[in-house]
Amino acid sequence: MPRRRSGTDTNGLIAGLLRDLAAVQSSRQSRWGYARAAEAIANLPGPIESFVQADGTLRKIANVGPSSTRVIMEVLQTGASPTVERAIEESGKARDVEKSRGLRDTFLSRAEVLAAFRNRKLKGVSLDEYRGDLQMHSTYSDGSQTLSDIIETGMARGYEYCAVTDHSYGLPIARGVSMNDLAIQHQELDRLNRKFDGRFRVIKGIEANVLADGTVDMTPEERRSLELVVAAPHSGLRSSGDQTSRMLAAVRTPGVHILGHPRGRKYGVRPGVSADWDRVFEAAARQRVAIELDGDPRRQDIDHRLAARALEAGCIFACDSDAHAPDEWEFAETAVAHARLGGIPGERIINCWPLEFLLEWAAKRRG
């Protein structure tokens, strides 16, 4: 049986190689097949080495076909995949693949997320300190979960609260919610919060846009009608120019509570915003704006390395799923794993605060 080389995330390595293989396929069918296999490996609960049976073959893994299995066995035996490298070379897309490979740093596979929780040497937050998720989307914008689904899922996960943060009207591509619909959402939430009083509380939030110049969309009055404002960049995420002033302006905007997925990076696709993050963190710490760790596996933004620097700057943090559907709530665990790896204690994470304390801080930021 192959031994797990310490320090390497073999699942992450294999998932990356299968992504590469997907990227160089000419048929849609095989692109889809390898991408699906990549996702299956990235989501395995344990290291791939533990799926090798006594006879040396691989245990059946859903969505992983014979040609993906061949790649996996090559990596387990040699640490690399000649099959994938050959396919890349023959495709003439080596430069694109190289670029994509450079955009996968500090992404955790599901197995690594779970390993971080088991690792008792880590000093950071543990999962049982987590009380509620503060970034998610409903059917009012681009989510597929209703407000009732949200309460049901939150209670089933043992949470005390969560925030619904649909996209603001400034992001029509994500079906940003109009102020009119937002008022209807708030009526519905008032009714649900009365019904679940003492058991579960949904916080009225929004995910507003950090525009190119750092202003946050929605008027100050509109933002004040919300209990929690996540401000996040959704544009200018491929430019390599310095955007420190944009991010500084965002965290200094009155009424902003959380700087959401601060970089806007995407796994293998784009690096997101470049900025002098230490300066941004310093300003956020002074304003008591929380820096978000977005746990969407494709985002993981910010990651544990950057989070450790934000901790040093004195920041508070939000660990959120960015869920658009009930089965995405576990993304919050990826965010908490990064916080744990970054050494962030629960008292610095607003999702670990008691509800009254959280609402008090939010009201203070609202001014």
CB of 318 to Zn ion, least distance (A): 13
What is the nearest approach in angstroms of Zn ion to the Cβ of residue 294? 8
| Residue (111 or 232) nearer to Zn ion, CB | 232
Question: How many residues lie near Zn ion (CB under 5 A)?
Answer: 1
- Between residues 112 and 294, which has the closer beta carbon with respect to Zn ion? 294
Residue 124: name the closest of 348, 340, 367 by CA: 340
Q: Please give the DSSP secondary-structure letter assigned to residue 168.
A: B
- How many C-beta neighbours within 10 Å does residue 161 have? 20
Which residue is listed with tokens 């963190």? 281
Please, what is the minimum distance in Å from the beta carbon of residue 167 to Zn ion?
7
Query: Least Å distance between CB 207 and Zn ion?
Result: 5
Query: 116 or 232, CB closer to Zn ion?
Result: 232
Calculate the alpha carbon distances from 349 to 119, 145, 157, 190, 261 in Å. Answer: 19, 25, 18, 26, 15
| Residue 216, beta-bridge partner list | 210
We find the least distance from the C-beta atom of residue 165 to Zn ion, in angstroms, to be 9
Report the residue number, 96 or 222, with the smaller CB distance to Zn ion.
222
The stretches of the chain forming alpha helices (DSSP H) are 10-23, 28-42, 66-78, 82-91, 94-101, 110-118, 147-156, 179-195, 220-224, 244-251, 277-287, 304-312, 331-341, 355-366
Task: Name which of 88 and 335 has its Cβ closer to Zn ion.
Answer: 335
10 versus 135: smaller Cβ distance to Zn ion: 135
Cα–Cα distance measured from residue 138 to residue 127, given in angstroms and rounded to the nearest whole number: 24
d(CA 173, CA 207): 13
Cβ distance to Zn ion smaller for residue 131 or 266: 266
Assess 302 for contact with Zn ion (CB under 5 A): no
CA dihedral 220, 224, 227, 232 (to 10 degrees): -10
The nearest distance, CB 232 to Zn ion, in angstroms, is 4
DSSP per-residue letters across 176-222: PBPHHHHHHHHHHHHHHHHHTTTT-EEEEEEEEEE-TTS-BSS-HHH
The closest residue (CB) to Zn ion is: 232
Distance (Å, rounded) from C-alpha 181 to C-alpha 174? 15
Q: How far apart are CA 251 and CA 215, in angstroms?
A: 10
Q: Find the shortest distance in angstroms from Cβ 260 to Zn ion.
A: 6
Comparison of 87 and 259: residue with beta carbon closer to Zn ion: 259
Q: Minimum distance between the CB of residue 185 and Zn ion, rounded to whole angstroms? A: 18
Site string for Zn ion, 204-243 (x = CB under 5 A): ----------------------------x-----------
How many other CB atoms sit within 10 Å of the CB of residue 282? 18
Q: What are the residues binding Zn ion (CB under 5 A)?
A: 232
